[in-house]
Amino acid sequence: MSNHFKALILDQNGDEYTREVKTIDKSFLKHGDVTIKVNYSDLNFKDGMILKNGGRLVKEFPHIPGIDFSGIVLESENPKFKQGNEVILTGFRVGEVFYGGYSQVAKVNGEFLVKKPKNLTSKQAMILGTAGFTSLMSAFAIKSREDILLGEKVNNVLVTGATGGVGSVAVIALNKMGYNVTAVTGKDSKADYLKSLGAKTVVNRSEFDKDPRLIDKGLWDGVVDTVGGKILANAIVQTNSNGIIAVCGNASTNELNTNVIPFMLRGIKMLGMDSANCSIKRREFIWGEAANVIDFTLLEKSIQTVSLEELIDTYPKILKGEISGRVLVDLNK
């Protein structure tokens, strides 16, 4: 590969931020011990915040954003990786503190990398990305009621913010695991789309966006919540005994006003999904299971593929809630 390649450069001048696709060389890359030819990246909500104004996450400019990528190792000073290895990276503050995946070549710490499973393509890995990885973490957290806690079988699962990148993949995975999925959305026009992903029932978010009772009728064995606030508070009081709630987003608000009664009377477990910093061992398990619980033929129907140049015009839409499904960034486009 040529020593020169394209990258999306985010820069700051006072209160002004610029985004421009530039041609750079390897000397621009200053972090890590493994150099990768990037094939694919993606667009997450966090990427949108960073592209807008650094999202209060980027401290040094100019900067290469992109919190996820997949590709092939070009050079390695890390004994765990060698030239030709196919790898996946999500999290570890890459794209924030460290240069990220919106570049045809990336250089990162090898301790952040996972070798791509053989049953998963590089493209499929980024169709999932951080959003899909978080969805799978959440789905397996709910499944742990059966596998680890030795509880009763999971039957009914609620997914909030179901048309988003995390929610939509969660619907697919949970349906594949054999659960009855109820999807919550504020977009009535997306009901058929959610049912095509595997949702058995679709309800409008207005049914949950109200002050919760102290405790309510138990309806859900598991919950994947991506929004927070009153919607999560109502999901908590409607969760069955020994139910598991996977908290993985704050699309509505960071706040949560709830009470201890459901936890005390029903033994509910609320688990936070920290996809950015989870262990490599856990990452290897999740990526290794991805192809078993995701119907990529189904998922690819809701994928929008963009180039680096097109990404500049696309990212504002994710901040406005105008994107359903996932945005794939093709670094060879």
89-145 tens-digit pLDDT: 999 999 999 999 999 999 999 999 999 999 999 999 999 999 999 999 999 999 998
Question: From CA 149, how far away is CA 144, in angstroms rounded?
Answer: 6
**Per-residue pLDDT tens over the stretch 89-102:** 999 999 999 999 99
Q: Right CATH number for 4-116+295-330 from 3.90.180.10, 3.40.47.10, 3.40.449.10, 3.40.50.720?
A: 3.90.180.10
Residue 311's H or E segment, with its range, is helix 308-319
Q: How far apart are CA 110 and CA 119, in angstroms?
A: 22
How high is the pLDDT of residue 251? 79
Q: Do domains 4-116+295-330 and 131-272 have the same CATH topology?
A: no
pLDDT (average), residues 186-206: 94
The set of residues, in sequence order, having a beta carbon less than 8 Å from that of 195 and lying 6+ positions away, is 202
pLDDT at 147: 82
Task: Look at residue 1 in the predicted model and tell me its pLDDT.
Answer: 58
Residue 65 amino acid letter: P
Write down the domain spans for the chain: 4-116+295-330, 131-272
CATH superfamily of this structure's domain 131-272 = NAD(P)-binding Rossmann-like Domain (3.40.50.720)
Segments of 50-196 assigned E as strands = 68-76, 86-90, 105-108, 114-115, 156-159, 180-185
pLDDT band at 152 (very low <50, low <70, confident <90, very high): confident
Name, in order, each residue with C-beta under 8 angstroms of 70's C-beta and a sequence gap of 6 or more: 38, 39, 40, 41, 86, 87, 88, 89, 116, 122, 123, 125, 126
Half-sphere exposure of 219 (CA within 13 A, CB side): 15
Asked whether residue 149 carries a pLDDT value surpassing 90, the answer given is no
